[in-house]
Amino acid sequence: MFTKGYTLSAVREPCSIIPDNPHVQRLVENFHRQGKVIGAVCHGPAALVNVYLEGSTPFLSGRRITGFSNSEELLLMSDAENLFPFLLQSKLQDLGAEYSEGPKYLEHVVQDQNLLTGQNPWSVWALAEAMVRELGVEPRQRPVTRQERAVELLGRYESFGNLKARQKLSMSIAKGQILPDRQLIAMHSVVALMELKIGKAIDLLSLAKQIKNTTNSKGRVAE
């Protein structure tokens, strides 16, 4: 079997393990040399920070990339800089990468030739489908998850505000689509409170309540 693509996915701890793994470094170098697809999501790009081309040029130098942002990291762990060898965003930028930051804990995917990266776990679906397309295959139709619906709704809120988000939700309800995961919406409300964005927190709680109050008469899931 010939592998045409490779995805790196990691939580925080591997930031102190994977970067120095010579097997991962050689794998990335070989995939890059052969023009194969390389994907990384969340803390996964940490595996790329010690990869060098021809011995001296950082693999990430000049590359457009994303990964778990400093703002996402520090909001969850204010002492992250003292607990881990580096903050991922800072490390990527130190190596000359052009870091692209999207909204906190929402979908954000960046492609630079054969390198595709996702900012956080909520970017997994879009990254996977982007990688499949880069391999020359159109992704199969599949059921959209409640989490994806929630990410879509939250993205609409971030881009266009509360009114547009409520309109999108009402349209989804009218069409009988699967409802967004209200727990994920509520989690983002908590994040807003942590950032002292009270109005945003109230808006998101209102969306979560609308989802909860929607009847299940057509088999839609409101939990």
Residues 173, 175, 177, CA angle at the centre, nearest 5°?
Answer: 65
Both 81 and 41 in one domain: the answer is: yes
Residues 122 and 107: beta-carbon distance below 8 Å = yes
Using CA atoms, how far apart are residues 114 and 130, in angstroms rounded to an integer? 11
Q: Are residues 11 and 116 in the same domain?
A: yes
Using one digit for the tens of pLDDT, what is the confidence trace for 160-199? 999 999 999 999 999 988 999 999 999 999 999 999 999 9
Both 51 and 130 in one domain: the answer is: yes
Share above pLDDT 70 across residues of the chain, in percent, rounded to a whole number: 88
Cα 222 from chain centroid (whole Å): 24
Q: How many C-beta atoms lie closer than 10 Å to residue 179's C-beta?
A: 22
Whether residue 120 sits in one domain with residue 162:
no
**Of 61, 52, 174, which Cα lies nearest the Cα of 112?**
61
**Which pTM value belongs to this model?**
0.89
**pLDDT tens-digit map of 128-159:** 999 999 999 999 999 999 999 999 999 999 99
- Considering the domain boundaries, does residue 19 fall inside one? yes
Pairing of strands 37-42, 5-10: parallel
Residue 40: give its domain's CATH number. Answer: 3.40.50.880
Q: How many folded domains does the chain comprise?
A: 2
Torsion, CA 151, CA 104, CA 95, CA 84, rounded to 10:
-110
Looking at the fold, whether 97 and 152 belong to one and the same domain comes out as no
